[in-house]
Amino acid sequence: MTYYDQLQAQLNLWQITLSRWNAEELYSISWWSLIGVMVIAYAIWWKIVDKKSLRNILLFGSFIAVANTVFDSTIITMGLWGYKTKLIPTIPSTFPFDYTVIPLLAMTIYQFFPTWDKFFVGIAIVKAIFVFGVIPLLVHFQIMALHGVNLFFVYAGMVAIPTAAKFVIDLVIHKEHATEMKEPTRSLSSLSPIPAKRPGEDH
C-alpha cells in the first residue's frame, strides 16, 4: 500500500467517523454527559486548587495530559479499545477525560499529598477506581468499548504516568530553588567596594 492509498483510506474513515458523529453522537445524552462532567470537574478543581502554587501544579497537570493522551492514542491505534461517544470527531479519537478529569484528579492529589508515600497511595487508589470502576461504567453506558485490552496493563500505565510526572516536576523545582539560592551569592561577590570620599573632595 502506498502513502496515497493510506491517505485515501484515512479520508474514507474520516467521512465515516464524521457522518456517525453527526448522526448518533453529537448532542446525545452521552455527549452532554461528557460536557457536564468536565465542566463540574473544572469548577470543583478551581475552587480547591492552591492558587499560590498554580504554576507548578499546572506544569504537573500538563505533563499528565500529554502523556495520558499519548498512552490513550497508542491503545486506540492498536485496536484494544475505542470510544463510541466522542466529544469531537478526531482520528484517533482520544477521550476528553485524558486532558480534563484525569489531570485534574492527579493535580489534586499532587497538591494535597506532597510526600512520596502519600502521593503514591493516593494515585494508586484513584487510578484503581478509574480503571476497574469508571471504565466498566463507560462501557456499560455505551461511551467506551473494550477489545481485549488488559486492564491491569492500563492500570500500571496510569500509575506510572503521574509517578514519572511528579519525579520530573519535583526535580525541576529543586533545580530552580538551587539556582535561586546561588544567585544572591553571585550578586554579592560581584560587587566591588567603593572607597569613601574625604570631606571636601566633591568640591
Alpha helices (H) along the chain: 3-20, 29-48, 54-77, 101-112, 116-129, 135-140, 151-189
Contact 110, 57 (CB under 8 A): yes
| 134-148 pLDDT tens trace | 999 999 998 999 999
Q: Rounded distance, CA 37 to CA 134, Å?
A: 13
* Residue 84 vs residues 68, 94, 141, 147: alpha-carbon distances, Å: 19, 11, 10, 12
Amino acid, single-letter form, for residue 193: P
Decide: 75 and 131 in contact? Cβ < 8 Å: no
Tens of pLDDT along 12-58? Answer: 988 999 999 999 999 999 999 999 999 999 999 999 999 999 999 99
Cell of 120: 503514591
Q: Is 142 left (phi over 0), alpha (psi -120 to 50) or beta?
A: left
- Interatomic CA distance for residues 158 and 97, integer angstroms: 13
Please give the Cα distance from 130 to 42 (Å, whole number).
18
What are the φ and ψ backbone dihedral angles of 146, each rounded to 5 degrees? -100, 140
The whole-number pLDDT of residue 96 equals 85
Nearest to 17 by CA among 87, 98, 71, 96: 87
**Three-state SS at 144:** strand
Query: Model confidence at 132, in pLDDT bands (50, 70, 90)?
Result: very high
pTM above 0.75, yes or no: yes
Cα dihedral sign, 16-17-19-24:
positive
Q: Average of pLDDT values for 97-112?
A: 94
Q: What is the pLDDT of residue 38?
A: 93
| Domain residue limits, the chain | 19-176
What per-residue confidence (pLDDT) applies to 23? 94
Q: What is the mean pLDDT of the chain?
A: 89
Mean local confidence (pLDDT), 149-164: 96
Q: Which three cell numbers stand for residue 187?
A: 550578586
Give the C-alpha separation, 74 to 55, whole Å.
29
Cell (9 digits) for 39: 465542566
